[in-house]
Structure 1
Amino acid sequence: MISVQQCGVLLLGAATLWACGGQAHPQPTPAPSRSAGPQGPVYHISAQGTGGRQVVITNIVAGAPEYTLLAANVIYSTDLRKGRFNDTTLHFYKGRNARLTVTAPTAVVDEVSHNVMLSGGVHAKTASGVTLTSDRMVYDDRTRLLTATDHVVAVEPGGNMLTGREAIADLDLQQIRLFGALPHP
């Protein structure tokens, strides 16, 4: 498995080789500016799982997986340094054991910050059965916290349920801070 950084390098390398074979055509880029943005041609690289296998990206920290992202397909933009994944399952680890599984129709991974933005109806579940659902969820790599927004529902295995507009949670869903009441229908 490869890290998010290595994936970007590999995808860029693949795009370069593909272009050398005369099969890919880089999109025209505007005249260079003096901004700090990326220089050179802009590529949009896509990959799709085949034969029942998914596209897999693993973020490895200190030799252990921090998270593994599985998806049906991905489009990576070299100018944005972001990859957009569809039909996503994200496994977070504690050591080598999965601690949290998050599913969402769409995920965007930022290669620079390593943050993961999930959307389209997100469902997170721990091995002990605690769940957190929302319209959108962001994993902040710096703080190692999830921020869930819009139609947030937290449920523990005993059936206790809390709802709100926003929640901030650890990756074990042991500490969940909920904010704002849902509007009445």
Structure 2
Amino acid sequence: MAVLLAGATGCNPQPPKATPAPSAPAPKPHAAVSPLVLRISGQGTANRPVHLIQEVHNRVDYDLLASSYESKGPQGGARAVFQQARVTFRDKQGGRIAATAPQAVVDQSANTVTLLNGVHARTSSGMTLECTQLVYDRATGMLHGTGNVVVTDPKGFRATGSSFDSDISLTHMRMR
């Protein structure tokens, strides 16, 4: 009879018993994730300087040449410092100003380009500008200069002050 029971159970196997689903592990406390900070540096040569072009809607906003640079920060929020910089800023109307300075800082978070430690610039119309620091605000397209500001037009008119705000062509300027 034992043989008969074994054969009967072999032909009619029992349905498998449902196994309980494994319980999800308890969530582990996570430490705050810090953003990835990128550090990038580069060195140009006399014949091949570091070159950065910033375009907006297929229009060059500014064109920067430098002897070297170092950038640090998260993607999209980096701050790059350029040495022996020459920057040409362009406005939508075709005006431009070319400026040189010992140092330039491109700050993606602030959306600015700052030239430091003695700025010398010339507009496409022949006006010249000297100041200690020049900040280009990319959002507004305006320049803000501080420190021993001297502006000279092509006819020799000279204006001095401690700071100014202006468009790129230096035609709409407020000097203080």
TM-score when normalising by structure 1? 0.71
Runs of 4+ in structure 1 deviating by more than 6 angstroms, as ranges, are none
Residue 97 of structure 1, CA deviation = 5.5
User: For the residues of structure 1 that align with 2:140 and 2:90, how far apart are their CA atoms?
Assistant: 15
One-letter identity of the residue aligned with 1:53: R
Q: Give 2:82's match in structure 1, choosing from 79, 82, 85.
A: 85
Unaligned runs of 5+ in 2: 1-30
Aligned partners of 2:91 and 2:141 also within 8 Å: no
Residue 51 of structure 1, CA deviation = 5.5
Q: Give 2:133's match in structure 1, choosing from 113, 133, 136.
A: 136
Q: CA RMSD in A?
A: 2.1
Aligned length: 144
One-letter identity of the residue aligned with 2:45: T
Residue 169 of structure 1, CA deviation = 1.1
User: For the residues of structure 1 that align with 2:94 and 2:47, how far apart are their CA atoms?
Assistant: 24
1:89-145 deviations in whole A, cap 9, x for unaligned? 111224696621011110000123330011110112112210111001100111111
1:10-39 deviations in whole A, cap 9, x for unaligned? xxxxxxxxxxxxxxxxxxxxxx657xxx51
Given the superposition, is the C-alpha separation of residues 55 and 98 from structure 1 closer, same or farther in structure 2, using an over 3 Å criterion?
farther
Write out aligned runs for 1:18-167 (5 A).
Answer: 39-40=35-36, 42-50=37-45, 52-79=47-74, 81-94=78-91, 99-167=96-164
Unaligned runs of 5+ in 1: 1-31, 180-185
Aligned partners of 1:55 and 1:73 also within 8 Å: yes
One-letter identity of the residue aligned with 2:119: V
User: For the residues of structure 2 that align with 1:33 and 1:109, how far apart are their CA atoms?
Assistant: 28
TM-score when normalising by structure 2? 0.75
One-letter identity of the residue aligned with 2:172: Q
Aligned partners of 1:81 and 1:112 also within 8 Å: yes
Choose 1 or 2 for highest CA Rg.
Answer: 2
1:125-184 deviations in whole A, cap 9, x for unaligned? 1122101110011001111111000100111011111111101111011111111xxxxx
User: For the residues of structure 1 that align with 2:43 and 2:91, how far apart are their CA atoms?
Assistant: 28
Given the superposition, is the C-alpha separation of residues 143 and 97 from structure 1 closer, same or farther in structure 2, using an over 3 Å criterion?
closer
User: For the residues of structure 2 that align with 1:145 and 1:54, how far apart are their CA atoms?
Assistant: 27
One-letter identity of the residue aligned with 2:35: Q
